[in-house]
Structure 1
């Protein structure tokens, strides 16, 4: 599905220039890397798309699958890296696009998954902090971000990933709204800062209120169930050692609601979009029977500068930064730094 290559990439590269020469150079590098991926996709008839990673990286890639499955007819899938290899999907082949992600670029299962997919003839794209990481070396294409010099520590990773996703959407099924999303992504850094300021007090109060709770359930649906997964698995369980579970609002009444009681805490992410009624139904129930219910309402996010019909695409890009504040609040009031681990990186496993 070919399209003129003087398109979205060039526009976003020009729109995202900053006063920092380093920042400009990195954004231009990102644009070139994404353009190479788009060229590779346009050179083939892509029949399916796989998003492959582990943990928080898998959660972040899941937003790509959410948007692709919502917007276009080409099937897309999310796999944890090891299962991707062992299950060996039948449809994986030379007409597949496989997007893999690892922050460090060293996650062994994901590196192996890249080699596995490449050997099948798939177009492989690695997303990593390091351009020369093992994951980047194993994949055909790489799109990298950099935290080390602070040049894109706030919005670079998110902006880069969303640019990639919407460039891919536009390549696979051209639509003017994808172009508008890319054009408005330079607003992301400013919006992140505004929403951090808006939610910081509520997040701090959350930490103060729940600092002694040993279990906190997180509930969401739609795109935001991926945030709930990341929040529970990577922040509450991994970093804070608080028992948790990400409950899909649509599944709440099919088992999990039996644990609801007056002293059971819930953090409900009330999404904006098609699945919001699912969240509202579950929220109504827990508010009747639990005295410990906190709500992050996505409709209350600051979307300054974003077209009304594009807010549904920007909400997921902003929510992770807001939820991180809630983990920071718990860390502050429990005295448990988010950097502490028992096992991770300390032994072979």
Structure 2
């Protein structure tokens, strides 16, 4: 595959799965003492946990929240207390907002769980608990999506919201997931190359999705196309597409449709069926079209992971076609802001 380190990818995703016991130990220890969980991050890695909270919203009665670190510290939720667990994802473990947040929690004797992608970080040293899996930008989304699911599934099991059999079935599939995702990447290769050739000079994309998968639409638009490629985007939830955004669509306007396998398919299908009436520039990425040796029950909860794996291939080809490496920035960590 083009510009891809297969060995590193497999190691990263297997590493995420292998954090099961570490995550379970933390959840089992704190669950008798907590009433809610806050996923609080900054930027892209924080956004990924919107998917976790959306997953939990429709499957669990336990309260999960995803909020933005800087805003939260200025005005915490009223439900935030010493009976909360704060999960702080940070790829580098050095993000200032995350370090400020762990200090904020420590001052209030509130337990924190850091999910870090780099070793021996300041965040790891400050947090109550730490789970570490070595990741880089191009492999991080799947890892964090998976760790978020692992937290929620453990709580659902301990609260009696899923059976041990259901829980074990999910994890049997998770163990297979690294190699199955690799198969997905290989299936996506031709599509990704064609996309890059067609859209390398396109200055603007509308991106839509729904359910667990809307997070990937939001994340991919802001954190990849905008930050890493300087391409303007308009992520919009498929349910809101007909409340404003449809008026921006006309012939030649690119719309990217991300479709997963959860309850939200009919919501996305409505947009998918409408678009040919108003534009000839439509790209549909539907996880259901990719073959995997994974149960249907598990496929329904991992659509964001599959989308992230497919879109990494798109990013690799697009950055090459545009002669714009994904690491190039104008302002990020270059000037004060």
Q: Which residue does the alignment assign to 2:233?
A: 244
Native 8 Å contact 1:204 1:326 kept in 2: yes
Matched, 1:130 2:108: no
SS at match of 1:71: coil
Select 2:332's aligned residue among 336, 341, 344: 344
Q: 2: CA distance between counterparts of 1:134 and 1:63?
A: 27
Structure 1 unaligned segments of length 5 or more: list them: 1-21
CA deviation digits over 1:161-197, x for unaligned, max 9? 5434422332344522223212321111011101001
Structure 2 unaligned segments of length 5 or more: list them: 1-10
Q: Which residue does the alignment assign to 1:96?
A: 84
Matched, 1:74 2:47: no
Measure how far apart 1:205 and its partner are: 0.5
TM-score, length of structure 2 as denominator length: 0.88
Distance verdict in 2 for CA 1:199–1:28, change over 3 Å? closer
Measure how far apart 1:155 and its partner are: 6.7
Q: Which residue does the alignment assign to 1:295?
A: 284
Q: 2: CA distance between counterparts of 1:26 and 1:285?
A: 41
Distance verdict in 2 for CA 1:233–1:74, change over 3 Å? same
CA RMSD of aligned residues (A): 2.5
Distance verdict in 2 for CA 1:197–1:166, change over 3 Å? same
Matched, 1:284 2:276: no
SS at match of 1:313: coil
Native 8 Å contact 2:118 2:135 kept in 1: no
Matched, 1:167 2:154: yes
Q: 1: CA distance between counterparts of 2:55 and 2:86?
A: 15
Higher relative contact order (CA 8 A, sep 6+): 2
Select 1:196's aligned residue among 179, 185, 191: 185
Native 8 Å contact 2:210 2:238 kept in 1: yes
Select 1:178's aligned residue among 167, 191, 198: 167
Native 8 Å contact 1:38 1:171 kept in 2: no
Larger mean CA deviation between 31-40 and 213-222 belongs to 31-40
Q: 2: CA distance between counterparts of 1:58 and 1:294?
A: 26
TM-score, length of structure 1 as denominator length: 0.85
CA deviation digits over 1:268-304, x for unaligned, max 9? 0122221111111112222211111000012113231
After the TM superposition, which residues 131-170 of structure 1 pair with which residues of structure 2 at under 5 Å, given as runs? 131-147=119-135, 159-170=146-157
